Each structure stands twice: as C-alpha cells, then as structure tokens.
A and B are shown apart, each in its own frame.
Chain A
Amino acid sequence: GQNIDQPTEMTATEGAIVQINCTYQTSGFNGLFWYQQHAGEAPTFLSYNVLDGLEEKGRFSSFLSRSKGYSYLLLKELQMKDSASYLCAVSTVYNQGGKLIFGQGTELSVKP
C-alpha cells in the first residue's frame, strides 16, 4: 500500500525554527514535493527532492533520506505569515502522468 505520514498540527513562535517531518512507504519513489497551503487558498509549490540531502531555498530547506523513507521541511526565522498547512507529496512512478500521493498535511500555527 501507499502511506504518507505527517504530524497533524504544530505550534511555533515567531522568529524560531520549526521542522516538519514526513515519512513515506510507497511502492516506488520518483521524488518528494512540499507544498504550502494557506487557509481557503490553493496549495503552492515550495520544494522538490529526488536525491538524498538538503535543498536550501531562502528561509526554507527540505531534506530527503530515501533509505529511511523520510523527509523534513525546515522553516527558519518564522514569520506570522508562515501559519499555513504544509503538504508532503510523493511521486511514485516515473512517467505515469506525474501523479502525486499527498499526506494529510501539517497545520502550523506561528504565535507572537
């Protein structure tokens, strides 16, 4: 079966660092995406990892370990506008329509 797990909710303080974990068990692996979704809005792309290691993009970084079926999204210098849901999604099969399997999302609340 296909399974992607993320914590349901997290709370952090403005200016702090938060790490959102994602573990996956899928029949194949062809890359992992992170999306951000503000309440009532569309998901927007944050990052993509297909090789092991850390990808950094400004205040956001994403890490992947394929052998462990594990990824995390690291958000630094948290701002109030980072309060949103963060979605982990796995592409399982190469060249099959680019389909993604999504986790349930992690609702992050940033407090002053």
Chain B
Amino acid sequence: NAGVTQTPKFRVLKTGQSMTLLCAQDMNHEYMYWYRQDPGMGLRLIHYSVGEGTTAKGEVPDGYNVSRLKKQNFLLGLESAAPSQTSVYFCASKNGGSSYNEQFFGPGTRLTVL
C-alpha cells in the first residue's frame, strides 16, 4: 500500500496563477482533509470531506476550493494564487466512524507563490 500520496512535491507559482494539488489514498478511507502548515502556526484545516461527493469548510478555507469526485482522490485548487498562500500543504485521510481512528498524512507539497 502506498498510503497517502500527494502530487506535486514542490511548486513555484506567480501571483495570480492557478493550480491544483492532488491527494490520493489507497486505504479506502471515508474522510479526507487538506491542511496548511506555516512556521509557528501548526497545522490548520482548509477543507475536508466525509465521503465521495461531499466537501466542507475548515478553519481557513478562503482562496481555496476542493472536490471529491472519487473516494480515493481529494483535489485542492487555488484559483488565483497569492503570496500569503506560500506554505506546506498536507493531505490526510482517516477511516470514518470511531473517534480513535488516527489521520494518516501524505508527504506534503511545498508551494511558493512569488
């Protein structure tokens, strides 16, 4: 099992450009999450999904959109990138149901917006 994978690993954008980050998991998990991690701020939830075709806003959703067309994939879109979106983005997945099930994280995408 590959677990949670993220594409790409690194990306540099210019202000105003758009891009999509792809997260894929092969563990048949119901729940998926997108976080951003900035120095001194910890992990902050951007959007999440509790199943195929469903998405919901997290703590810092502005400037991002998501889609979950297939259970195994969760896409994060930036329509018009801004320097404030320079960050490391982590995707995670979790087996739904019990609270004690942990989240499994992907390796991260390091995004720089110039």
Contacts and interface: CB of A to CB of B under 8 A. Distances in A.
A33 B102 CA distance: 8
Interface footprint category on A: 20 to 34
A48 B90 CA distance: 21
A103 B43 CA distance: 8
Interface in A3-61: 4, 8, 30-31, 33, 41-45, 48, 50
A112 interface: no
B102 A31 contact: no
A84 to B, nearest CB: 14
A45 B102 contact: yes
B99 A31 contact: yes
Contacts of B108: 41-42
Nearest to B43: A102
Interface stretch (B44-52, B63-71, B73-81): B44-52
B83 interface: no
Interface in B33-47: 33, 40-45
A104 interface: yes
A87 B42 contact: yes
Interface in A39-91: 41-45, 48, 50, 87, 89, 91
B99 A98 contact: yes
Contact of B105 (A43, A103, A105): A43
Contact of A98 (B41, B43, B103, B106): B103
B58 interface: yes
Interface in B12-46: 31, 33, 40-45
A68 to B, nearest CB: 20
7 contacts: A44-B105, A45-B104, A89-B43, A98-B99, A100-B103, A102-B42, A102-B43
Given A41-B108, A45-B103, A99-B58, 9 more contacts: A31-B100, A48-B102, A97-B31, A97-B49, A97-B56, A98-B103, A99-B33, A104-B41, A105-B42
